[in-house]
Chain A
Amino acid sequence: MTDKKTSPEQSRRIRVLVAKPGLDGHDRGAKVVARALRDAGMEVIYTGLRQTPEMIAEAALQEDVDVVGLSILSGAHMALTPRVLELLKANGQTHVKVFIGGIIPDEDLQRLKEMGVAGVFGPGASTEDIIRDVQTAVAG
């Protein structure tokens, strides 16, 4: 039961969906990020490999997440990302911040930002940066 000193008003925890859309099977990065966000005190819903944008949006809705993190290493980010954003919007989840991790060519960065992506993390991004950016995005 309750700790003797906890107030009934529990603070809201940041909920993050970490998903791997598309067909590549490399989920180590997604797992590292999930673990890092967990260690930063967030609740991370991990959905596993080969998710369609529809599955991701549905999970984001049911879990009422604040953040969706997409791990894309297949090069299909310019096809998958707008679809996820569109579906989130259709479901009324315009407040959800979408981050992308993976191999994203520089020339696509600007276009992804314009679509509404909150941040892109390439190889070498530190988990500290990811945690900070997620926290800032949710707070702002």
Chain B
Amino acid sequence: MTYSQAVLNGDRLALARLLTQVENNAPDGRIALIELFPHTGRAHLIGVTGAPGTGKSSLVNQLALYYRKVENKRVAIVAVDPSSPFTGGAVLGDRVRMRDLSGDPHVFIRSMATRGSLGGLAQATANMVQVFDAAGFDIIIIETVGAGQSEVDVARLAHTTLVVEAPGLGDDIQAIKAGILEIADILVINKADRPGVENTEKALKSMLDLAHPTERVFRHHGSIMRTVAPTQDSSSRLMWIQPIQKTVSIESKGIVELAESIGRHVSHLRQSGDWAVRERTRLEVELEALIREALLNRFHEDVSQKEYDEALEKVVQRNISPWEAVKMLLNGRSK
């Protein structure tokens, strides 16, 4: 039986092994992705991002418990942690906070390292999410690395993006608000039992007041991805007001309210047509990445290492500029 058949049949070992093949970009993984693609597009993808130590993993644990116990949904979690830039090794520790989910056959947690990727996710994260989607998981939670300002890739992948804040980071809010807070569909103040929670909430609220009302667009490779459906008149379209939810995940406080807020966001996406727009944007980003990879591979097949090194050497010697080198190498292609 092929990987994809076994995964569609609910074989957990096959699922685990296929995820490895996909993560390693191995031939078996690529074949299975092609076979599984028609079965994708059903899951609700929830991205969870925020600074290190804000409690993302504990929150994911609680959300997954909610979806299991209250909504009886099948939940997959992809938890990303950074790889060492020096050795490529990684310690993936998100499972430590997710022990409550152990023993449930309808939960599947997979940790992955960034392997040099910088946007807060690994390169293979989107493909691994596709495998979970095809495997029939209703909810897929994607937890990013502890993120700073520009790790915003998750917003292009997920339908609903939660940005997790915690009291005490409030002084830095001014610094980060232009980056990561912008991508939030829902802002979560976790550890809301801590002192300073009022200040954090106030700062976030004032940020939101300044931000509304604006159209939400993703800037992507120089082009603008509109999140509004093109057929709708922008003045009459439904606007999503980013809510602020307070949680104390280690005490399970605020989780029901957060899940309800996520539910409202899904309804909004469906009603406004944004769901389809986000799907389209996500697939376009994937398509472009694949095209880039394919072109790059073709380039390296066509241009020998020797030609490449010679051109590089000329640039290093300041004989030619990098732009001229590119022109020279591309002109040298046989096809």
Additional A-B contact list (18), CB under 8 Å, known A10-B24, A38-B89:
A3-B116, A12-B26, A13-B88, A38-B90, A38-B91, A41-B88, A41-B89, A44-B89, A46-B91, A54-B103, A55-B102, A55-B103, A61-B16, A62-B108, A62-B109, A63-B16, A64-B19, A91-B12
Decide yes or no whether B330 CB sits under 8 A from chain A.
no
User: Is there contact, CB below 8 Å, between B87 and A41?
Assistant: yes
From B90, B109, B110, name the one whose CB has the most chain A CB atoms within 10 angstroms.
B90
Q: Are A54 and B111 also in contact (CB < 8 A) when A1-B123, A38-B84, A64-B20 are?
A: no
Q: Is A117 an interface residue (CB 8 A)?
A: no
Select one of A3, A12, A39, A63 contacting B84, CB under 8 A. A39
A112 contacts the other chain (CB 8 A): no
Q: How far is the CA of A50 from the CA of B95 in the complex (A)?
A: 13
B307 shortest CB reach to chain A, Å: 14
* Contact of A45 with B92 at beta-carbon distance under 8 Å, contacts A39-B87, A64-B17, A92-B13 already known: yes
Contact between chains at B293 and A2 (CB < 8 Å): yes
Pull 13 A–B residue pairs with CB atoms less than 8 Å apart, ordered by A. A1-B289, A12-B26, A34-B91, A38-B87, A39-B89, A40-B87, A43-B92, A44-B90, A47-B99, A59-B102, A61-B13, A62-B109, A63-B110
Asked if A63 and B111 sit within 8 Å, CB to CB, the answer is: yes
Chain A residues closer than 8 Å to B110, beta-carbon distance: 62-63
Q: Is A122 an interface residue (CB 8 A)?
A: no
Q: Which of A12, A46, A62 has the most CB of B within 10 A?
A: A62
Q: How far is the CA of A13 from the CA of B24 in the complex (A)?
A: 8
Q: Is A4's CB within 8 Å of the partner chain B?
A: yes
Closest to B86 in A: A39
Q: Is A11 an interface residue (CB 8 A)?
A: yes
The interface bits of chain B over 37-51 (1 if a CB of A lies within 8 angstroms of the residue's CB, else 0) are 000000000000000
Knowing A11-B24, A39-B84, say if A55 contacts B99 (CB, 8 Å). Answer: yes
**Chain A CB within 8 A of B25 CB:** yes
Within 8 A of B (CB), among A62-119: 62-64, 91-93
Is A42's beta carbon under 8 Å from chain B? yes
In the bound complex, how far is the Cα of B11 from the Cα of A92, in angstroms? 11
**How many residues of B sit at the interface, in one of the four size bands?**
35 or more
B332 CB contacts on chain A under 8 angstroms: none
A1 neighbours in B (Cβ, 8 Å): 117, 123, 289, 292
0/1 string, B90-120, CB within 8 A of A gives 1: 1111011001001100001111010111000
> How many positions in chain A have a CB within 8 Å of any CB in the partner chain?
39
Q: What mask results when residues 17 to 61 of chain A are scored 1 for a CB within 8 Å of chain B, else 0?
A: 000000000000000001101111111111110011011001101
Counting chain A CB atoms within 10 Å of each CB, the highest count among B17, B102, B103, B109 belongs to B102
Given known A44-B92, A48-B96, contact A93–B24 (CB-CB < 8 A): no
B105 → A minimal CB distance (Å): 9
**Measured between C-beta atoms, what is the minimum distance from B287 to chain A in Å?**
14
* A46/B96 in contact, CB under 8 A: yes
Q: Which residues of B are found within 8 Å of A34, using beta-carbon distances?
A: 91
- Partner of A54 from the list B19, B102, B113, B289 (CB cut-off 8 Å) is B102
Nearest Cβ distance between residue B171 and chain A, in whole angstroms?
A: 31
Contacting B115 at CB < 8 Å: which of A10, A47, A58, A93?
A10
Q: Which residue on chain A has the smallest CB distance to residue B17?
A: A64
B271-293 interface (Cβ within 8 A of A): 289, 292-293
Which B residues lie within 8 Å of A61 (CB)?
12-13, 16
Q: List the A residue with the shortest CB-CB distance to B108.
A: A62
Chain B, 62-98, contact with A by CB distance < 8 Å: what is the 0/1 string? Answer: 0000000000000000000001100111111101100
Q: How far is the CB of B61 from chain A (nearest CB, A)?
A: 12
Least Cβ–Cβ distance between B154 and chain A, in angstroms: 16
